[in-house]
Structure 1
Amino acid sequence: MNQQKFQDYLLLEKNYSKLTALAYGKDLDFFKNFIEEHFANATLEEVSYTLIRSWIVSMIDSNISNTSVNRKVASLKAFYKFLLKTKQIEVNPLSKHKALKSPKKIQIPFSEDEINKVLNQLHYKEGFEGLRDKLIIDLFYTTGIRRSELIALQIFNVDVSNGTIKVIGKRNKERIIPILPIIQIQIKSYLFERKALPVLLQQDFFFLLQNGNKLNETFVYRLINDYFSNVSEKVKKSPHMLRHTFATHMLNHGADLNSIKELLGHSSLASTQVYTHSSLAELKNVYKNSHPRNQR
């Protein structure tokens, strides 16, 4: 019962997506199965930190990564915060827990050359599908929007004449993102072909499949992966990598961190600072090739 109330709380009060709420629920079930197997008399509402530590140790022994362990524990911590807030427990057993250390992986963005090859040298289908595919890639790269935001983009939130799109981000936060003139031209061409579709089953959505339905996450991931597989050997070729590339290239060309923060829809600057790693690598390269002390 408390689990269902917790998920309702995440959806209705915290404005989390259904997928996020479902992920929290799966993490709780994973922990619940553990205590039922090893501590038959314990319940989710009546566990000690000692018991939780046993669960953490068992996950580590099962070679679950520290990152995955931290995510599962974070779900559990959120659940106990909810129980505390609704006065169903008096103490959060995870209140003093410290997350496990996880190695920070520096994501290598696509190069400007790779982006140029995908947008200007690859062959796209004629008509609706080709225009849509190229526009999706270019919109990711020129705005930095998330995959979920692109899929949910409504046609009435695309203002071609003013050169802006209104995006609904995490927790239903709205932001206005400018679009470049070259994107405005692509949008006009795409909309012309979109009107000619025989069926518009979900016509409020800006991007559609050939059958008139809205896009799905798998389709968008495969689209990005397929096109970039032609020009890049990077392991990760995803919509998020294009978001990462957008931020990195903006930094490399002189944009300030606060502006990028607003464009990306981050709530804090700390979230944006992760993109400075790649920018620093570029800066080091420029420094090495430009400073007179290194010309001898």
Structure 2
Amino acid sequence: MRLIFSTSDFKISDVPYPKFPILLDAFMNIQWHVLNFLIYICTQIGNAGSPDTWEQYGRALYDYFGFCEANGYDWTVTNSTSKHTTIDKYRNWSMAECGLEASTVNDRMRIIYRFYEYALKQQWIQSLPWEGEKEFLKDHKSALVKKDTTGGDKSYSGGRKSGRKASVTTISILNRIQIATTLEAIANLELKLITRLGLACGLRKQELLTFPTKYIVDPKEYPVAKMNYRITLNPDEMKTKNNKSRQVDIPASLMRDLWSYVKYDRQTRASLCNDEEDKKLLFLTEHGKRFANGGRGLNTLYKELSLPFKLNPHILRHTYATHTLYVLTKMNLPMVPLIYVRDRMGHASIKTTEIYLHFIELVDDSVLDTIQNNLAEYYAEVVNEASQEF
């Protein structure tokens, strides 16, 4: 499954629609059912008339149909005799395997539900793949949420369709050995640097994939050696959640390697790039294209590593937050570690950051002590700068 975007040559009723999403299957055939739905929803519905909204719809359906194609599921089979329908399997896969936030999964599910409702009206399917109310996830719990016809939400546990049991929300992180195993298993230079940047800064997936080349500096230009480089993420230059700016700290060793990559390795890929906006991105594929940022690109590359543990971009983010919070807490600093990590992660509320405090208690202290010894020196300069902020 591939997602492409049209040029101005693509017209609907003689009106050009550049940047319109189009899905292609493994044989490069247009997914006409999806295209017809997108044309309807994106050109005839008043609140879905911007290219950004088209992209959101396109990427959600690309992720869902890509999931169906990869697993051999027929999306038109809506009266499944198995325990879970295809959309149930997709919802659980998005949470359990991809580590996506509940809000992200819910946004995609709303689009998928809308597609199936349109498909029923077009008589492409005989029935909807759900009974009664639509199912959504709570933001901070694994219980599902049923949305009633009045717009209210009501939660339940272990629904018949989903089979998900109520449990305390946990997060997955990598320990020191798993980090080393991961980096050793990655042969692709771009993927290794993306992984290191995720581990070192806690960036979200879309931030890793839209990180600008201009943020990388030559360490030799600084007269005094730096332990960390404070970088401001500008939503005008890259994608950030809710278009909010924030600052992150890149360790000196990683900055040196990123600068070397820009100077010596990236040029070949950039020379193959025909898109001026893509040329500004730090990481490009071997064909000079931007990495897929709809949820499948990096996940697929990590899956191909065949590691004995789960790995995805969000786990890298969890790993950064947990280890950093532990290290800063142990160092007895004249600052508030939770606030520092909150600001680096871009959390809207300190309560979100506090989740990592509870998870630390479940991790072997000996592992984190080893990580603390390895990372403490990198925070020497960060501590001095951050202590002045509080």
TM-score range, shorter chain: 0.5 to 0.7
Check 1:132–1:278 CA distance in 2 against 1; reply closer, same or farther (3 A cut). Answer: same
SS of 1:203 mapped into structure 2? helix
1:219 paired residue number: 297
Helix, strand or coil for the counterpart of 2:363? Answer: helix
Select 2:174's aligned residue among 100, 106, 110. 110
1:1-296 to structure 2, matched below 5 A, reads: 4-7=45-48, 19=59, 23-28=109-114, 55-56=132-133, 69-70=144-145, 73=147, 93-95=150-152, 97-100=153-156, 102-119=166-183, 121-122=184-185, 124=187, 130-159=188-217, 161=219, 163-167=229-233, 168=235, 169-191=240-262, 192-197=264-269, 198-201=271-274, 202-217=278-293, 218-227=296-305, 229-230=306-307, 233-234=308-309, 236-255=310-329, 256-282=337-363
Deviations 1:220-244 (A, max 9, x none): 12233344x34xx22x321111111
The CA RMSD over aligned residues, in Å, is 3.9
Most deviating of 208-217 and 277-286: 277-286
- Whole-angstrom distance in 2 between the partners of 1:259 and 1:10: 36
TM-score, normalising length: structure 1: 0.64
Distance 2:193 2:232 in 1: 16
| In 2: Cα distance, 1:59 partner to 1:195 partner | 47
Query: Which consecutive residues of structure 1, in runs of 5 or more, have no partner in the other structure?
Result: 38-53, 61-65, 78-92, 125-129, 287-296
User: Equivalent residue for 2:76?
Assistant: none
TM-score (norm 2): 0.50
Corresponding residue SS for 2:279? coil
**What is the rounded CA distance, in whole Å, between the counterparts of 1:275 and 1:34 in structure 2?**
44
Note closer, same or farther for the CA distance 1:98–1:123 as it changes in structure 2 (3 Å cut).
Answer: closer
Flag the structure with more relative contact order, 1 or 2, with Cα contacts below 8 A and sequence separation at least 6: 1
Residues 1-60 of structure 1: CA distance to partner in whole angstroms, max 9, x if unpaired? 899334459968xxx95546664333345578899x9xxxxxxxxxxxxxxxx823x869
Q: CA deviation at 1:134?
A: 1.6
Q: 1:215 to 1:251 in 2, by over 3 A?
A: same
Query: 1 or 2, which has the higher strand percentage?
Result: 2
Q: 1:115 to 1:67 in 2, by over 3 A?
A: closer
Note the alpha carbon deviations across 1:173-222, whole angstroms, 9 max, x for none. Answer: 12221100111111012112112334233311110001111111433122
Q: Unaligned stretches of 5+ in structure 2?
A: 1-40, 60-103, 124-130, 158-165, 223-228, 330-336, 368-390
